[in-house]
Structure 1
Amino acid sequence: MEKIRISRQAKIKNFRRLIMSGTIVDVPGVLVGHAQNEETLTGCSVIMLEKPSVCGVDVRGSAPGTRETDLLDPVNLVSVVHAICLSGGSAYGLDAATGVMQYLEEQGIGLDVGFGVVPIVPAAVLFDLAVGDYRVRPDRQMGYEAVQAASSETVAQGNVGAGTGASVGKLNGFGNAMKSGLGTASVILPNGLVVGAIVAVNAVGHVVDPQSGTIIAGPRDEQGTIRDSMEIMRQRAFAPIPPGTNTTIAVVASNARLSKAEANKVAQMAHDGLARTIRPIHTMYDGDTIFAVATGEVETSVDLVGALSADVLAEAVIQAVKHAEEAGGLPSYRSYFQE
């Protein structure tokens, strides 16, 4: 029995190592570009698609800031998108998607409507106004620069793009929060299926490594000790949190052949990755939103894609925290842990 137990543990470690080695651009046809203002601590990230691709969405948080999500309902007409924009800046940051549309239109990319093209660019935002200078938000120009920078090169992580001003652990007041960021991960199966994720982690709760059970970022007490958010909530001792001041936003992508309804199912299943790593998740103070893109090359099970999407998204959350650097007066994972 002992030999079997060790074998299973080894398989889990090997699987995680495979995920950790990749990024979302391992999915063929998926490009990523970032733009940020490192002084004011805000930015945006664009996931650009080399060809129009099926997309779904699932919004679980109660304070979302989104654009073009109704379009992704399977009952609605347009079934493909050309890019997705993830941005800081709260609702102001939705303006970044306009810059993405401008760039795509200049390239002749978009839905042909007979009078030019209309690029389809869904977007979601997170609240980072409490970090850096709240008067500076991602705008049309920043969105343009992000999509212009999109490539298949290795994706930068941490304090970049939509993760530039991200933070976690707000239940002891924002001054006792910790810096988070943007992370990505992927997995490649022998049959050619590739599943990847990219996420900007900006949760009200704490982040836990599901492999070890260790809280790696969260609310701190007066002594600087990282606390369990659920313990604080049970004690009813947490600081009031203004609505909409958090939100984790993500894209999961695969080269699977999926329908629009199946892509929505994948987005739904991918939220399990957030639930494994962020506690609590989907609160009244979060606007958690996940987009799911399928580029259509590999015939496979929607259940497999959904399950793997949850796996890689969980790993991307961990990478977002581990790559974050101290900023805006907030310590990061690296301030507490040495790997």
Structure 2
Amino acid sequence: MKNLLTDIAGVRVGHAEDAKVASGATAVIFDSPAIAAIDIRGGGPGTREASLLDLASTQERVDAIALSGGSAFGIEAGAGVQAWLAEQGRGLNIRGALIPLVPGAILFDLLNDGDKAWGRFAPYRDLGYAAAVAAGDDFALGSVGAGFGATTATFKGGLGSASAVTSSGITVAAIVAVNAVGSATVGDGPWFWAAPFEVNGEFGNHGLPDKFTDDMLRMRIKGGPAASDRENTTIGAVVTDAMLTKPQAKRLAMIAHTGFARAIYPVHATTDGDVLFAAATGAKPIDPMAGLTELGMVAANVVARAIARGVYHATALPFAGAMPAWKDRFR
């Protein structure tokens, strides 16, 4: 176990970034099409092929998932991933026509001082393609891929991942790009809200404060109370090797989304775009009642851990006045 999304057999992850733009994209590639669903908790999401994942839609499987910065411009990252899959001969076969299916989601990182004067076309299609080319079993965390330009209310955001195994031997893992309007940490201290779920000191082993003060519980959001909460969004995917139907994958996404609330404070703001995909590779049977409930419970813990790890591993952008990284203040 690498404590990464790629602990799920048949799943690979790749990143690509543009340091000048201060943004990037992440590709989650399934070696075989995976059952997939989506749960959207934000009021202002930016998604690609979300309707494909609706339970009323006929198609059940997807070839990849694209995560990207760039707000609405970043939706094009999915086209880049799709182009790479097409070159590999991957996709839904309709009488000989192959159509790679790549849902995606974006976060807002357009005000992080990167150079967004990119000309006629934004770079995200090329970033998506490069991320797919780079996909492998190991991948970096922190200020990489879709989390390259991400921020939170108090520290630099980033991309995190974590994994776990249920008591029945089902593996579940998450990948999350953390660009929250709120904070992943408690007050002004080193403590992560996700501390109760930490495994092996994976984000500093600071635990929680001995007691919570009113100041720790006050609202901390980007730009202060007068700022728009549009400048955010946390996006990710939870993947399992369980054998799930599409409705069961939807339920997994819904339960696992609880991990956002365990790791970010406040979360799901009024015009937020928080999105979580769920996918299942179908390698192992699972009990549809107790087994699925436990899977969701563990998945929520894994999502919370991935969020904390994304902030813990992040590094500050090289701009004057840039949001500091957690490791700039704590160890």
**Cα gap change, 1:116/1:183 in structure 2, threshold over 3 Å: closer, same or farther?**
same
Instruction: Say whether the 8 Å CA contact 1:44–1:138 is kept in structure 2.
Output: no
Give me the whole-angstrom Cα distance separating, in 2, the residues matched to 1:138 and 1:87.
11
Aligned structure 1 segments of 4 or more residues deviating by more than 6 angstroms: none
**Cα gap change, 1:120/1:25 in structure 2, threshold over 3 Å: closer, same or farther?**
same
Could you say what secondary structure the match of 2:184 adopts? strand
Which of 125, 134, 145 is the equivalent residue of 1:149? 134
Instruction: State the 1:114 CA deviation.
Output: 1.3
Give me the whole-angstrom Cα distance separating, in 1, the residues matched to 2:163 and 2:123.
27
Instruction: Say whether the 8 Å CA contact 2:183–2:220 is kept in structure 1.
Output: no
Task: Give the TM-score normalised by structure 2.
Answer: 0.85
**Cα gap change, 1:100/1:192 in structure 2, threshold over 3 Å: closer, same or farther?**
same
Instruction: State the 1:285 CA deviation.
Output: 3.4
Give me the whole-angstrom Cα distance separating, in 2, the residues matched to 1:267 and 1:84.
14
Which of 202, 205, 208 is the equivalent residue of 2:179? 202
Instruction: State the 1:115 CA deviation.
Output: 4.2
Which of 218, 226, 229 is the equivalent residue of 1:230? 218
Aligned residues: 296
**Cα gap change, 1:265/1:135 in structure 2, threshold over 3 Å: closer, same or farther?**
farther
Q: Which amino acid aligns with 1:262?
A: Q
Q: 2:313 corresponds to which residue?
A: 323
Give me the whole-angstrom Cα distance separating, in 2, the residues matched to 1:335 and 1:285.
30
Task: Give the TM-score normalised by structure 1.
Answer: 0.83
Listed as ranges, the gaps of 5+ residues in structure 1 are: 1-17, 170-176, 215-226
> Which digits, 9 at most, give the CA deviation of each residue in 1:157-202, with x for residues without a partner?
0110000000000xxxxxxx53110000001346441110000000
Q: 2:150 corresponds to which residue?
A: 166
> Which digits, 9 at most, give the CA deviation of each residue in 1:74-104, with x for residues without a partner?
2211000000000000000001111111111
> Which digits, 9 at most, give the CA deviation of each residue in 1:31-72, with x for residues without a partner?
001000123210000000000010010000111100111111
Query: Counting helix residues as a fraction of each chain, which structure ranks higher?
Result: 1
Cα RMSD (Å) of the superposition? 1.8
Instruction: State the 1:259 CA deviation.
Output: 0.4
Give me the whole-angstrom Cα distance separating, in 2, the residues matched to 1:324 and 1:229.
24
Instruction: Say whether the 8 Å CA contact 2:166–2:294 is kept in structure 1.
Output: no
Instruction: State the 1:155 CA deviation.
Output: 1.9
> Which digits, 9 at most, give the CA deviation of each residue in 1:8-27, with x for residues without a partner?
xxxxxxxxxx8xx5101000
Give me the whole-angstrom Cα distance separating, in 2, the residues matched to 1:248 and 1:71.
21
Give me the whole-angstrom Cα distance separating, in 2, the residues matched to 1:289 and 1:232.
21
Which of 161, 170, 178 is the equivalent residue of 2:155? 178
Residue 291 in structure 1 maps to residue 272 in structure 2: no
Instruction: Say whether the 8 Å CA contact 1:128–1:165 is kept in structure 2.
Output: yes
1:55-204 residue pairs with structure 2 within 5 A? 55-131=36-112, 132-136=114-118, 137-152=122-137, 154-169=138-153, 177-189=154-166, 191-204=168-181
Give me the whole-angstrom Cα distance separating, in 1, the residues matched to 2:217 and 2:44.
19
Instruction: Say whether the 8 Å CA contact 2:6–2:13 is kept in structure 1.
Output: yes
**Cα gap change, 1:320/1:43 in structure 2, threshold over 3 Å: closer, same or farther?**
same
**Cα gap change, 1:94/1:231 in structure 2, threshold over 3 Å: closer, same or farther?**
closer
> Which digits, 9 at most, give the CA deviation of each residue in 1:274-327, with x for residues without a partner?
101101111113200000010001112221221111011100011001000111
Instruction: Say whether the 8 Å CA contact 1:97–1:143 is kept in structure 2.
Output: yes
Q: 1:42 corresponds to which residue?
A: 23
Identity of aligned residues (%): 40
Instruction: Say whether the 8 Å CA contact 1:34–1:160 is kept in structure 2.
Output: yes
Residue 253 in structure 1 maps to residue 246 in structure 2: no
Could you say what secondary structure the match of 2:257 adopts? helix
Instruction: Say whether the 8 Å CA contact 1:22–1:186 is kept in structure 2.
Output: yes
